[in-house]
Amino acid sequence: MTTLHDLHADQGQSPWLDNLRRDWLQDGTLAGLVDQGIRGVTSNPTIFAKAISGQDTYDEQFGSLIATTSVEDAYWDLVVDDILHALAILRPVFDSSGGGDGFVSVEVAPSLAHDTEGTIGAARDLHVRIDRPNVLVKIPATPECVPAIRQMITEGRSINVTLIFSLTRYAEVIEAYLSGLEALAGSGVDDLSGVASVASFFISRVDTEVDKRIEAAGGGPTSDLAGLRGKGAVAQARLAYALFTDRFTGPRWEALAARGARVQRPLWASTSTKNPAYPDLAYVDTLIGPDTVNTMPDGTVADFLDHGTVARTVDADLDGARSVIDRLASAGIDMEDVAAVLETEGVASFAASFDDLMTSLAAKAAQLSGR
């Protein structure tokens, strides 16, 4: 037993790995992490860009693919093959948990972040193409994609909602999930247990932006604002968990739960520490609690295995969390504006990673083709 096993057994939180590489699929690294307590995997365009461009394990398959298909279609073939392999490794976790864990996430193309119908089509196509019960298709929580989230749930498809940065948007995501389940039930589906969803609330990036604004507001080492550095992200996440517990109780939820519906678990993403002045597990040890997921890059997983603390913290000191957000607001730091900036940056970052990879693959295709 490891601290990752204890995290799930004692506190009801599922540790997932925020990385996916073909060599880890082939050499047993991912299987070994699952043995140590990892219960799911998340991926995104940046992760795949690093994996595909950073190693030669994809070259043989890519060389074969480009003889008959486009570079972008070849990319999706590479991605789907990795996802299918990871899904097979995690399938025992999915089965033993009764469908509660063992998921692998794959994201729609970042160019669709502001395209409702395009996202619906792409998410539907990925579900059909992969056709495994433990796949989660990732859809960003942009205003344009919230209706796509609802539509996918209405169709009974499992979704990882990504790039959530604000409580307001999180409330919209929860509503999309609940109303989607109600529509699915209204269509005659009696058993809702086959639909799973997580809502990925990004953490460390919030502190990066908030701390920058604290400094701009005169929050030097001796100022009253200095004590708020590194506090905004966890405070907001704890309020998000309070919102989760509120929305998944009461008559509306109980009617869905009676049909087997599963809660849409909050997933803490971006949990590696960006500021070296902060503890390496600043966004892990502070957000532990039942019905949650923490998806960690491999370095953070190693840190938690070494010295992680297993104790319920996600709903500790909610009054203190509210005070942090109120004090930030009083200093002119608007968390909704922070979220808007981070959403724009997040979408742009994934799109840039995707575009850079397409350029790199096009060059590799020319090289492999002898042109």
Distance CA 107, CA 191 (A): 26
Burial string for 231-258 (b: 16+ CB within 10 Å, else e) reads bbbbbbbbbbbbebeebbeeeebeebbe
CA neighbor of 327 nearest in space, from 201, 221, 217 = 217
Please give the distance of CA 267 from its chain centroid, rounded to a whole number.
Answer: 6
Backbone Cα Rg of the chain: 21
Picking from 2, 7, 34, the residue whose alpha carbon sits closest to that of residue 289 is: 7
So which residues are the catalytic ones?
Answer: 138
The structure tokens listed for 353 are 């990673």
140 forms bridges with which residues in the sheet? 162
In this structure, how many other beta carbons lie within 10 angstroms of the beta carbon of residue 227? 12
Taking the C-alpha atoms of residue 153 and residue 183, their distance in angstroms, rounded to an integer, is: 8
Q: How far apart are CA 170 and CA 145, in angstroms?
A: 13
